[in-house]
Amino acid sequence: MTAPPPETPDSAARGGGPGQWAIPRGLIVLLIAAATVVAITGAKAFAGVLGPVFLALMLAIAVQPIQQWMQRRGRPAWLGMLAALVTVYLILLGLVAAMAVSAAQLATSLPDYSDQFGDLLDQVQNLLARFGIDQERIDHALSGFDFGKLVELLEDLLRGLAGAFSNLLFVVTLLLFMVFDGMTIGRRIGVLRTMRPDIAEALGSFTAGTRKYLIVSTVFGLIVAVLDGVALWILAVPFPLLWALLSFITNYIPNIGFVIGLVPPALLALLDSGVPKMIWVIVVYCVFNVVVQSVIQPKYVGDAVGLSVTITFLSLVFWSWVLGALGALLAIPLTLLAKALLLDIDPSTRWMDVLIGERAPDRGRRAPAESPDPPG
Position with higher pLDDT, 137 vs 335? 335
Q: What is the pLDDT of residues 40-56, one digit of tens each?
A: 888 888 877 888 888 88
**pLDDT band per the 50, 70, 90 thresholds, residue 129:** low
What pLDDT, on a 0 to 100 scale, did the predictor assign at position 369? Answer: 44
The values of phi and psi at residue 291, to 5°, are: -65, -45
Q: pLDDT for 315-361, tens place per residue?
A: 888 988 888 878 888 888 888 888 888 887 877 777 777 766 655 55
pLDDT of residue 5: 52
Give the tens place of pLDDT for each residue, 202-211. 888 888 888 8
Res 370: pLDDT: 45
Q: What span, in angstroms and rounded, lies between the C-alpha atoms of 347 and 344?
A: 7
Report the distance separating Cα 91 and Cα 196, nearest Å. 35
What's residue 101's pLDDT? Answer: 72
User: Using one digit for the tens of pLDDT, what is the confidence trace for 145-204?
Assistant: 555 566 666 666 555 555 555 567 778 888 888 888 877 787 888 888 888 888 888 888
Q: What is the tens place of the pLDDT at every residue in 67-120?
A: 888 878 878 878 888 888 888 888 877 777 777 777 667 667 666 666 666 666
Question: Region 230-257: what's the mean pLDDT?
Answer: 84
List residues bridging with 156 in a β-sheet: none
In this prediction, residue 363 carries a pLDDT of: 47
Whether 127 shows a pLDDT value over 70: the answer reads: no
Give the list of residues 6+ apart from residue 269 with CB closer than 8 angstroms, or none: 235, 237, 277, 278, 280, 281
Residue type, 143: S
In this predicted structure, what is the pLDDT of residue 20?
55
List the beta bridge partners of residue 14.
22
279-289 pLDDT tens trace: 898 888 888 87
**Phi and psi based region of residue 18 (left: phi greater than 0; alpha: psi -120 to 50; beta: remaining):** beta
Which long-range contacts (C-beta less than 8 Å, at least 24 apart) are formed by 100-106? 100/162, 102/158, 102/239, 102/241, 102/242, 102/245, 103/155, 103/158, 103/159, 103/162, 103/242, 105/239, 105/242, 106/154, 106/155, 106/158, 106/239, 106/242
Q: What is the pLDDT of residue 331?
A: 86
For residue 190, the model assigns a pLDDT of 81
**291-306 pLDDT tens trace:** 776 667 766 666 667 7
Average pLDDT, integer, range 51-64: 85
Question: For all residues of the chain together, what is the average pLDDT?
Answer: 74
